[in-house]
Amino acid sequence: MYTGAIGVRDMVDVQWWRSAYDNRVHAFGNEEAGRDFGEALCEHSVPNSKITCTDDGERCLACMLIFGDLLADTYGEAGWRAS
Q: How high is the pLDDT of residue 79?
A: 57
3-state secondary structure of 24: coil
Spans of all domains in the chain: 14-77
**Cα–Cα dist 24/17, whole Å:** 8
What DSSP character marks residue 54? -
Q: What is the pLDDT of residues 15-62, one digit of tens each?
A: 999 999 999 999 998 775 567 899 999 999 999 999 999 999 999 999
Q: How high is the pLDDT of residue 23?
A: 96
Per-residue DSSP letters for 21-63?
A: TT--EEEEEGGGTTSSEEEBTT--EEEGGGEES---SPBPHHH
pLDDT of 70 > 60? The answer is yes
Q: How high is the pLDDT of residue 28?
A: 93
pTM for the whole structure: 0.75
